[in-house]
Amino acid sequence: MNTDRPAVARAFQVLGVCLIVAGTVSVGATTLSSEAQAQNTFPLDKYPGFGRSPDAVLRDDTIAYWEAYGRERLISSCMGESGFEYVPAVAYPEEAMLAVAEGLGVAVSSDPSLESPFDRNRTYEVELTPEEREGFNQALFGESAADVAEVNRTGLLPVGRMDFATGGCVGRVKAGALSVWDLRRELDDELVVMQRSIAESPELAATRAAFRECAQRVAGIAADDPADVDAFVGGGGSEPQAATVLSECERVWAVGYRQSQLTAAAGLVKEHAVAFSELEARYSHDIMATVRNDDEFLAYLSDQVRVTDSPAEALGEAH
């Protein structure tokens, strides 16, 4: 028994140390988690089209993809009125589309015979008679089949034809379409001015000083900000030295910059209060519920997930 007592005591000591370490790690993790969360939210996040946090980006992609599908649906219906088949075909980056599908809980279509809607439209057009193909292009773009093919081949519009392919079903639908990105694009100039003014703002003076001190200390480089590091590498400076500065000092910059950016973003919303209110009003209904209840859209999305998930395509062997 005597020999066991120190062993038990030691076991409790070890357990105690483990608990303290676990507690410390847990508190640290919670702090880091809160910090990460704070870093991942942004004042403009709540406005559709301005999302920066992962959730807000996904929301914007979902709305944008749904709106794009809506436009394609209108083109399809318009083409149908002219007596032609055209299936909605939404062009969208694949991973973003897959994220939208996953976010909406869309299951992969089980139809193995599916093909891409772009291929379906192409096949349909190719199989038309020359006269029908002419009618198809006139209905879709308001242009001749020969001109459309030539523009596709060269990437150039016919000289003097700035209005080329702005008619037909595509032109009509695009002209009247609203998009979740409209306000973001409208305010683009001001967003750039905002960014540039942040970089030059006196509020960043302390951050610059801290970055300069850090860059000098870790790599002996005279750099006030990341732009100076770019210029250093671009001017033939040592890439490893620059990498050291960026890995060691980036956080110093990010924290100071973020604070200035938050202030500037709040100022932008205040300055364009009416426009942001209108944006909110446009999407004030539960837009995500509307999307989730659009069965036709969900079926389309399900098909796209199926078509995208092609090993041959992933290997680049489809062409």
Partner 1 sequence: MLHASSLHLVFVAVQLSIDSVNREAQHGRLSVMVGNRTEGAMGWLFIGLGSTMLLLATMGRIHPRFARRRRVLTILVASLSLASISVSVVVATHTVITSSDMRWQPSPFNGWKVYLSSPRHINSGGRGECGWEENINGRHFNYNATHTTYGAGGMLKRGYITTVSGNARDDGGWKNVNSANNWGANVYIVTHTNGDNGCPDSAQYLLVMFVDGNWGSTDLRSQLLAKMDPVLPGGQNTWSCIGGPGGQLAYECRDANAPHRVYVEAFFHDNQPSVDLFQTAGWPENNTWRYGWAVDVHLGYP
At 64, list the tokens. 């944008």
Applying CB under 8 A, does 10 fall inside the site for partner 1? no
At 20, list the tokens. 């303290």
Map the footprint of partner 1 across residues 227-266, applying CB under 8 A: 227, 229-230, 233-234, 239, 242-243, 246
At 68, list the tokens. 């794009």
Map the footprint of partner 1 across residues 263-302, applying CB under 8 A: none
In whole angstroms, the minimum distance from the beta carbon of 318 to partner 1 comes to 7
Is residue 104 a contact partner of residue 293, using CB atoms and an 8 Å limit? no
Residues 6+ apart with CB under 8 A from 125: 133, 136
d(CA 55, CA 302): 21
At 139, list the tokens. 């209905």
Q: Which helix (H) or strand (E) holds 281?
A: helix 273-282
In whole angstroms, the minimum distance from the beta carbon of 217 to partner 1 comes to 19
Is residue 72 a contact partner of residue 27, using CB atoms and an 8 Å limit? no
Q: Decide whether 111 or 186 has the Cβ nearer to partner 1.
A: 186
Map the footprint of partner 1 across residues 145-174, applying CB under 8 A: 151-153, 155-162, 164-165
Number of residues that bind partner 1 (CB under 8 A): 71
Residue in 168, 171, 226, 256 binding partner 1, rule: CB under 8 A: 226
Is residue 223 a contact partner of residue 215, using CB atoms and an 8 Å limit? yes
Q: Decide whether 95 or 278 has the Cβ nearer to partner 1.
A: 95
Q: Decide whether 82 or 179 has the Cβ nearer to partner 1.
A: 179
In whole angstroms, the minimum distance from the beta carbon of 28 to partner 1 comes to 20
Residue in 26, 37, 40, 290 binding partner 1, rule: CB under 8 A: 40
In whole angstroms, the minimum distance from the beta carbon of 65 to partner 1 comes to 7
d(CA 61, CA 158): 34
Applying CB under 8 A, does 130 fall inside the site for partner 1? no
Q: Decide whether 258 or 292 has the Cβ nearer to partner 1.
A: 258
Applying CB under 8 A, does 192 fall inside the site for partner 1? yes
Residues 6+ apart with CB under 8 A from 104: 62, 291, 292, 298, 301
Residue in 59, 62, 68, 139 binding partner 1, rule: CB under 8 A: 68
For the stretch 264-301, what's the b/e string if a residue is b when 16 or more beta carbons lie within 10 angstroms of its beta carbon? bbeebbeebeeebeebeeebeeebeeebbebeebbebb
Position 119: which residue type?
D
- Residue showing tokens 């939208």: 100
Applying CB under 8 A, does 34 fall inside the site for partner 1? no
Residue in 59, 60, 139, 305 binding partner 1, rule: CB under 8 A: 60
Q: Decide whether 27 or 245 has the Cβ nearer to partner 1.
A: 245
- The three-class DSSP label of residue 236 is coil
Q: Decide whether 149 or 299 has the Cβ nearer to partner 1.
A: 149
d(CA 64, CA 301): 13
d(CA 85, CA 90): 16
Draw the binding track, 75-114, toward partner 1 (x: CB under 8 A; -: no contact): ---------------xxxxxxx------------------
In whole angstroms, the minimum distance from the beta carbon of 1 to partner 1 comes to 54
Q: Decide whether 10 or 185 has the Cβ nearer to partner 1.
A: 185
Query: With CB under 8 A as the contact rule, which of the stretches 60-68, 104-112, 125-133, 206-214 interacts with partner 1?
Result: 60-68
